[in-house]
Amino acid sequence: MTTPRILAFAGSTRTDSFNKKLVTIAAEAARAAGAEVTFLDLRDLELPIFDQDFEAEHGLPDGTIRLKQLLAEHDGLLISSPEYNSSVTAVLKNAIDWASRPATPDEPTLSSFAGKVAGLMSASPGALGGLRGLVHLRSILSNIKVIVLPDQMAIPAAHNAIAEDGTLVDPKHHQAIAGISERLTEVLKKLGADEN
């Protein structure tokens, strides 16, 4: 059985992001469940705002090429994203939009995303924990051919729920996040076994 490969990232570029901390917890749980996990900070991609005129003149930015390579090398996604004005963050949507663009004329439509499996989570200081943003993120990913697990978790009052050392204060929250990672790893293992 092949080892599932998971790309983990947050929909935030803030250094002390709650969602970076949360997806780090999820990544550790996925590793413990037998997956190989790569952590990506979207800030490192240095992506410009998507602009088709820019693309026509300059081609895909280096950050887009790197993101598409990472997506090609991984089977699943762990995404933790805050909610901005009841939706997904601009940096996350921008990364998705760039990665959906073909690098060559013969690249199949949405090949960077088609067939990937994703586990979603969020953390927010608000009472809903970023839940409304996850609704939009689920819709976006489903429409670009990503299989999104039904399990998800939104952590409210993140400033109290996540300790300074990056751990979750409530063991039930930790169990829920670990459960998403374990389920994602399990599904990817089954899909890998079916392909062998």
Find the helix packing angle between 18-32 and 171-195, rounded to 10°. 50
**Cα 128 versus chain centre, distance:** 19
Position 192 confidence tier, pLDDT thresholds 50, 70, 90: confident
The tally of domains found in the chain comes to 1
Predicted confidence (pLDDT) per residue in 33-59, tens digit: 999 999 999 999 999 999 999 999 999
Q: What domain range includes position 181?
A: 5-195
Predicted confidence (pLDDT) per residue in 66-123, tens digit: 999 999 999 999 999 999 999 999 999 999 999 999 999 999 999 999 999 999 999 9
User: Helices (H) and strands (E) in the chain — how many of each?
Assistant: 7, 5
d(CA 37, CA 101): 24
Q: What is the CATH number of the domain that holds 26?
A: 3.40.50.360
Return the structure tokens found at 90. Answer: 């601009």
Return the structure tokens found at 19. Answer: 């969602």
Q: Which residue has the tokens 């978790």?
A: 153
